[in-house]
C-alpha cells in the first residue's frame, strides 16, 4: 500500500516552487508589460513580468473527474500565485485543436493537454511544438507524434493490476463468472488499464478460477499471458464503455440478456472506472439471477465512495489528483525555468519514448475508505452518510 501525499505536502511543494520561480524570474513591476490573457473563469487577467504562462486543456465537463481536476488546477496555481486558463474540449477533437490554437495565440509557453482522442491530439501537439510551446501530456498519453515533451501520469498498468488483484482476492473455487469492461478505444490509458488487469487475471482464467462470459475475443485469447496492442484492441472493441455511463449500462444489460442463469450467480466484474462501475453495478444488482457481485473502479469519485460505503461498489483505485496536478505544475515550472523535469521511466507513444515520472496508486475498499479518502483530506466526511 502506498502512502498518499497530504494537503500539507502539496502546499509545501507549491510554496517551494513559487519561491524557486520567483528567485529565477525578473521582479514584477507595478505596470503590466504584456497583454491581458483569459483566465479559467472567462474573465481577463494581466500576465506580469514573471513570464509564467500555462494553459490547460481537459477533455470534457461532463464527467466528475475532469471537474475535479479543474478545481485542483485552479486552487494549486492560485496557491502558487499564478493564473491559468483552463479550457474544455467537450469530447470533440476539433474543439481541442481550437483550444490549443487559442492558447498558442495568447503566447503561452507550456500547454498541459489531456487528449480527448490520443491519436487525433497529435496534430494539436505538433502545432504547439512548431510554435515553440512545451507540451505536457496529462493523464492520457498523446500518441503517434514526436511533439510531446513530458507525460504526467499515474502508473496506469498498476491501476489495472490493482483491479485484477482485487477480483482474485475475493474469488474462491473455480468457474467464477467474469465480465470484462474497458474504457474508450481512443484512449491509450484504456489499453494500459486493460493490460495491467490481464497481466494478473489471465493466469486465473487459464487455471479455471474465472470464466469469461461476455467477450468471444477474450475467450479466444485467454491462453496468452501477454497480448499485443491489436489483440487488446479486439477485446476492447467488444467490451468498450467509451467511458460513458449510458454505454456501460446498455452493454451490461445486453450482456445479462444474453447470459444464461449459469452465467450469473456470484459474478466478478472488471469495470474500468467509477462512473461506468456505478452504471454496471446498478444493472447487475437489478438482475434477480445475480446473487452477488464484486466490481472494480477507479478515480475515487464522491459518488463511488458513497457506493463503497453502502456496499454497492466493491473497490476503487485512488489516483490522488492533488499529486498529479502538483506533478504537472512541477514539470511546467521546470520548462519555464529552462530545465527538464525529472523522469523515472518512459512511455512509447508509437513514435517516441516520452519521459515520465508516474505516481503511485492506492486500492480503496470499505475496509480502508475512511483512512485513505476521508482522513487524508481527499474528500470531507460531511459529504457522506454511513461512515463508521
Quote the pLDDT of residue 64: 84
Q: What is the mean pLDDT of residues 35-64?
A: 56
Which CB contacts under 8 angstroms, 24+ apart, belong to 167-170? 167/201, 167/210, 167/268, 167/270, 167/294, 167/296, 168/200, 168/201, 168/204, 168/209, 170/268, 170/294, 170/314
Confidence of residue 2 (pLDDT cuts 50, 70, 90): very low
Percent of the chain at pLDDT exceeding 90: 75
Q: Where in the chain is the domain with CATH 3.40.50.2300?
A: 7-154+321-357, 156-318+366-374+378-383
C-alpha to C-alpha distance for 157 and 191, rounded to whole angstroms: 9
Give the pLDDT confidence score for residue 68 in this predicted structure.
85
pLDDT tens track for 302-352: 999 999 999 999 999 999 888 998 999 899 989 988 999 999 999 999 999
CATH class held by domain 7-154+321-357: alpha beta
Paired sense of beta strands 176-180 and 265-270, if any: parallel
- Kindly report the pTM of this predicted structure: 0.76
DSSP H/E element including 329: helix 321-336
Q: Please state which CATH number belongs to domain 156-318+366-374+378-383.
A: 3.40.50.2300
Instruction: Cell numbers for 25, please give them.
Output: 524570474
Beta strands 110-113 and 134-138, pairing class? parallel
Distance, CA of 35 to CA of 47 (rounded, Å): 7
Q: Residue 133 in contact with residue 112, Cβ under 8 Å?
A: no
Residue 78: per-residue pLDDT: 78
Torsion, Cα 271 272 275 279, to 10 degrees, reads -30
**What's the grid cell of residue 217?**
475475443
The band of 292, judged by pLDDT with boundaries at 50, 70 and 90, is: very high
Amino acid at each position: 500500500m502506498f502512502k498518499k501525499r497530504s494537503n500539507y505536502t502539496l502546499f509545501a511543494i507549491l510554496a517551494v516552487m513559487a519561491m524557486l520561480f520567483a528567485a529565477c524570474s525578473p521582479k514584477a513591476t507595478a505596470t503590466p508589460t504584456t497583454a491581458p490573457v483569459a483566465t479559467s473563469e472567462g474573465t481577463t487577467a494581466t500576465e506580469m513580468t514573471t513570464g509564467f504562462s500555462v494553459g490547460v486543456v481537459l477533455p470534457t465537463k461532463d464527467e466528475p473527474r475532469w471537474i475535479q481536476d479543474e478545481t485542483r488546477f485552479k486552487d494549486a496555481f492560485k496557491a502558487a500565485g499564478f493564473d491559468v486558463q483552463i479550457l474544455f474540449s467537450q469530447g470533440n477533437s476539433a474543439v481541442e485543436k481550437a483550444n490549443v490554437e487559442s492558447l498558442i495565440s495568447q503566447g503561452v509557453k507550456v500547454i498541459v493537454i489531456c487528449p480527448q482522442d490520443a491519436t487525433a491530439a497529435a496534430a494539436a501537439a505538433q502545432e504547439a511544438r512548431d510554435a515553440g510551446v512545451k507540451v505536457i501530456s496529462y493523464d492520457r498519453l498523446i500518441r503517434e507524434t514526436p511533439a510531446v515533451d513530458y507525460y504526467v501520469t499515474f502508473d496506469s498498468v498498476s491501476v489495472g493490476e490493482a483491479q485484477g488483484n482485487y477480483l482474485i482476492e475475493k474469488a474462491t473455487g473455480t468457474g467464477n463468472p467474469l465480465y470484462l469492461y474497458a474504457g474508450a478505444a481512443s484512449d491509450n490509458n484504456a489499453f494500459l488499464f486493460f493490460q495491467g488487469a490481464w497481466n494478473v487475471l489471465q493466469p486465473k482464467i487459464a487455471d479455471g478460477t474465472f470464466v469469461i462470459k461476455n467477450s468471444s475475443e477474450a475467450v479466444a485469447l485467454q491462453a496468452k499471458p501477454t497480448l499485443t496492442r491489436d489483440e487488446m484492441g479486439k477485446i476492447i472493441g467488444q467490451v468498450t464503455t467509451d467511458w460513458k455511463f449510458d454505454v456501460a449500462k446498455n452493454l451490461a444489460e445486453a450482456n445479462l440478456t444474453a447470459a444464461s442463469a449459469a452465467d450469473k450467480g456470484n459474478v466478478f466484474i472488471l469495470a474500468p472506472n467509477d462512473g461506468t462501475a456505478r452504471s454496471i453495478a446498478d444493472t447487475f444488482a437489478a438482475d434477480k439471477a445475480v446473487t452477488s457481485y464484486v466490481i472494480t473502479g477507479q478515480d475515487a469519485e464522491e459518488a463511488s465512495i458513497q457506493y463503497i460505503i453502502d456496499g454497492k461498489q466493491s473497490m476503487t483505485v485512488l489516483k490522488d489528483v492533488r499529486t498529479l496536478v502538483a506533478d504537472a505544475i512541477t514539470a511546467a515550472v521546470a520548462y519555464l525555468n529552462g530545465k527538464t523535469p525529472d523522469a523515472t521511466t518512459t512511455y512509447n507513444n508509437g513514435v517516441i519514448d516520452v519521459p515520465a515520472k508516474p505516481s503511485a496508486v492506492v486500492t480503496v475498499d470499505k475496509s480502508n475508505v475512511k483512512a485513505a479518502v476521508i482522513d487524508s483530506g481527499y474528500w470531507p466526511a460531511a459529504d457522506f452518510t454511513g461512515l463508521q
